[in-house]
Amino acid sequence: MSLVIKKYCSIVTDRINVDGRTVFTPDNQDGFKKFARAAYRHFQTDYPKFFKMDSLSKLGFLSVEVLLKGENVLSKHSIEKTGLILTNASSSLEIDEKHWDTIRDRGQYFPSPSNFVYTLPNIMAGEAAIRHEFRGENTVLISKAFNAELIFNTADLAFKTGALECCICGWVEQYGNKYESLLFLVERSEHENEEGKSEEDVIFEPSILLKIYKRERAWKN
């Protein structure tokens, strides 16, 4: 079984690329919140709940939204076997700290319900799954840095066990105005030859994931 990267999307500080080509940069660089709003409008998204999400969920939502633009994965794959495997380093730390600020002083104990509901990174995957009606496995794993092996091994296992037949996987990292994401749309190859290797597709394997990650971040350095 060969797994292939059908498409990939990166967001690296104020730039959105799809398959290596830039599809959006805002007019001004004013931090994540304004970037997220500008991107939402640019892609003519109609999902008012977006504005109520925390920043991590907004980044995950936008990344999945752009990745799946023009794709109709549910026309080819089971709703129960389409899922998300996401990774990041900061978990949901930004909103965790925001929540902590509302409860640390017992005399000013006013926890915000709308903050509290985002104090888990899995909510990011859940928001994207709800939006696209995916009911397959979804999870968020934490690693210190972009970890191609972790992404590959987890997704590969989900395919091998039959849990997924289509997977959106990758890296969605955000804390304050430092943010970046790289998501891959992964499916089984439709073009396998006799040796089981694909000729036209980008093979889903750790070395390729790392190569793409480094290339997408290169302009920033």
Partner 1 sequence: MEELIQKLKVEIIEVLNLEEMEPEDIDSDDPLFGEGLGLDSIDALELIVLLEKNYGIRIEDPKDGRKIFFSVRTMAEYITENQK
Distance CA 97, CA 23 (A): 33
Only segment of 104-112, 149-157, 190-198, 208-216 that touches partner 1 (CB under 8 A): 104-112
Whose Cβ is closer to partner 1: residue 94's or residue 180's?
Answer: 94
Evaluate whether 16 touches 22 at the Cβ level (below 8 Å): yes
Tokens of 204: 């889903």
| Min dist. Cβ of residue 58 to partner 1 (A) | 11
Distances (CA, A) of 159 to 44, 155, 183, 195: 33, 6, 17, 20
Whose Cβ is closer to partner 1: residue 13's or residue 112's?
Answer: 112
What residues from 46 to 85 belong to the interface with partner 1 (CB under 8 A)? 48, 51-52
| Min dist. Cβ of residue 30 to partner 1 (A) | 14
Evaluate whether 145 touches 203 at the Cβ level (below 8 Å): no
- Would you count residue 193 as binding partner 1 (CB under 8 A)? no
- Would you count residue 208 as binding partner 1 (CB under 8 A)? no
| Min dist. Cβ of residue 64 to partner 1 (A) | 20
Only segment of 44-52, 120-128, 154-162, 213-221 that touches partner 1 (CB under 8 A): 44-52
H/E run at residue 96: helix 93-103
Distances (CA, A) of 190 to 79, 127, 134, 140: 19, 29, 22, 28
Whose Cβ is closer to partner 1: residue 114's or residue 207's?
Answer: 114
| Min dist. Cβ of residue 57 to partner 1 (A) | 12
- Would you count residue 37 as binding partner 1 (CB under 8 A)? yes
- Would you count residue 100 as binding partner 1 (CB under 8 A)? no
| Min dist. Cβ of residue 106 to partner 1 (A) | 14
Tokens of 81: 């076997």
| Min dist. Cβ of residue 100 to partner 1 (A) | 16
Collapsing DSSP to helix, strand or coil, 53 comes out as: coil
The burial of 193, by beta-carbon neighbours within 10 Å (0-12 exposed, 13-18 middle, 19 or more buried), is given as exposed
Distance CA 219, CA 165 (A): 33
Whose Cβ is closer to partner 1: residue 70's or residue 113's?
Answer: 113
* Binding flags for partner 1, 109-148, as an x/- string (CB under 8 A): -xxxxx--x-------------------------------
Evaluate whether 22 touches 11 at the Cβ level (below 8 Å): no
Q: Which residues bind partner 1 (CB under 8 A)?
A: 37, 48, 51-52, 110-114, 117
